[in-house]
Structure 1
Amino acid sequence: MLFLMKPANALLDAVPLARAPGTSLHRQLFVVLRDEIVRGVYATGLLPKEETLCERFGVSRITVRRALADLATQGLVERRHGRGTFVREDHLPQARAWPSLTLIDSLRKTATDTQVQVLRVEQAEPPLEVAALLQIEPGDKAVHALRLRSIDGIPVMLTDAWVPVNLGRRVNATSLRKQALYEILLAQGVKFGRVVQEITAEVSDPVRARLMQTEVGMPLLKIVRVIHDLGARPVQYISVTLTPERSRMLMDIPGETVNTLSTGQFVHQVPSAGAAAGR
């Protein structure tokens, strides 16, 4: 049997929005347009005309206007009478910086450029995954620090860190308001070595939505780092949550490491055919 691939442009043709339980059409359109604004699709700042959006998504003009009104309420666009809908200037795509910092320099820049709010510091039993990565015996405790970093009052990073108890004796709310966690570790003689990093996405729950000033159900970028010392012992587990409209991750991979895991690896978790059929 011969299978013919559709032309690439055919795969990108307009696809009508589908009615789904619990999700209105204007909400779906709002989410799609919001994502396109964040990704810089509208580089000139001008959104398509209402009739163009109606044709592209197969919706009524009322649906389009409700979605545009929600975007305006969020401060993403502004309606100009007789001219159309424009992305607000502070949401237009900016020139992208090139990564040029070492791990320590990057951590230092984050600490310098942001204001920290210490939400929680405690000794607690870490989740099983964290305990395994930090090589902590089940039932043993670690030092847990939850912090929110902002720029001019706007949240940009929620960091959830764990360190072994022997390295976390100086970690408390007072010390974390004065120093970043990496500085406290360095001051104890820890020297950073290997870093294992995982980048995924998650949906904002009510707690994260409130802290990050976003909406419940909106996608968040999640970066997990396990930092080791020069002796290959894990010294810190940290999970960093970001909103994609305010933050991105930059990497610069040297040519000599291009054939190593420094470039990253795609890991897929797809249900087996039997499991999928049993749903």
Structure 2
Amino acid sequence: MFGEAQLAALNQDAPTPLYFRLYRLLKDAILNGTMAHGAQMPTEQQLAENFAVSRITAKRAMDELAAEGLVERRRGKGTHVIYEYEPQPLKAPLVGMLQEIESMARRSEVKVLECQRSRPPASVRDMLGLDEKDKALHLLRVRSREGLPFGYYASWTSRLDKPVSKRDFARAPRLQIFRKQGLELSHVIQTIGAVAATQELAQHLDTSPGAPLLSLVRQSFISEDDEEKLVDYLEVFYHPDRFQYRMDLNLDDTE
């Protein structure tokens, strides 16, 4: 759970009291989700042995965690983490993100597999605020670079009132088509994860079923009557050997 550098920092001579350094090490592990909600904490004796500290030092570190409401002690049941970790969203300028998306589209080749209006699955329909019989544009695409497929894109889009075809999406990025139809995005949420390739994804991305893929879910909103409304739901699956997601972030000196 703890790296050699962290353990070394705990054991080295420092003006900070030893119990406080142990407390900070455990607190950071709880706050960043390494020690998850509901996890049982080591006993004071185990902490003392593992970190080569006295039991009094271990007890004081645990007392600090309990005083902050991060852990809860129960007689006969041990000490458990009660802090619930929630990952904080990373905020980035929307304009820059959309420009990068369009730039990637222009630097790659696309094959449009499907482009038709149909009824979305119930989960997507509810997110888009559609009635049961309403339809949305269903688009399936594969993007390649130098003949190698790197991304499989599946999307559902509402509010596209003018007819569109496979040829339109083969010639222009989706965002350009959105703007021509009056969809001006005001907010985008992206969630990145990992999945195992299904038979279909493996076929389109030239990999093996069960192979790891990067996954990205992008929800795009417009602002209407001072409310945000989801108009586009996109799932992307990337071949990890052919695609990298890089973010270059600078610290804000004002915080």
Inter-partner Cα distance in structure 1 for 2:220 and 2:250: 20
Evaluate the alpha carbon distance shift between residue 255 and residue 111 of structure 1 in structure 2; reply closer, same or farther with a 3 A threshold.
same
Q: Does 1:240 align with 2:233?
A: no
Inter-partner Cα distance in structure 1 for 2:197 and 2:161: 29
Q: Deviations over 1:100-144 (max 9, x none)?
A: x81221122111110010001111111222212222223321110
Q: Does 1:134 align with 2:177?
A: no
Residue matched to 1:161:
155
Q: Deviations over 1:55-108 (max 9, x none)?
A: xxxxxxxxxxxxxxxxxxxxxxxxxxxxxxxxxxxxxxxxxxxx9x81221122
Q: TM-score, normalised by structure 1?
A: 0.54
Residue matched to 1:223:
216
Find the structure with the greater CA-based Rg. Answer: 2
- For these two proteins, the number of residue pairs brought into alignment is 166
Evaluate the alpha carbon distance shift between residue 145 and residue 6 of structure 1 in structure 2; reply closer, same or farther with a 3 A threshold.
farther
Report if the CA contact (8 A) 1:147-1:160 is conserved. Answer: yes
TM superposition shift of 1:3? 1.7
Report if the CA contact (8 A) 2:162-2:181 is conserved. Answer: no
Inter-partner Cα distance in structure 2 for 1:6 and 1:194: 47
Alignment of 1:36-51 (within 5 A): none
Residue matched to 1:3:
46
Report if the CA contact (8 A) 1:167-1:235 is conserved. Answer: no
Query: What amino acid is the match of 1:236?
Result: D
Report if the CA contact (8 A) 1:170-1:184 is conserved. Answer: no
Root-mean-square deviation over aligned CA pairs: 2.6
> Structure 2: which 5+ residue stretches go unaligned?
1-42, 52-92
TM superposition shift of 1:241? 0.7
Evaluate the alpha carbon distance shift between residue 253 and residue 133 of structure 1 in structure 2; reply closer, same or farther with a 3 A threshold.
farther
Q: Does 1:202 align with 2:198?
A: no
Evaluate the alpha carbon distance shift between residue 137 and residue 3 of structure 1 in structure 2; reply closer, same or farther with a 3 A threshold.
farther
Evaluate the alpha carbon distance shift between residue 210 and residue 3 of structure 1 in structure 2; reply closer, same or farther with a 3 A threshold.
same
Classify the secondary structure of the residue corresponding to 2:46: coil
Identity of aligned residues (%): 27
Classify the secondary structure of the residue corresponding to 2:151: strand
Q: Find runs of 4+ consecutive structure 1 residues off by over 3 angstroms.
A: 4-7, 252-256
Classify the secondary structure of the residue corresponding to 1:208: helix
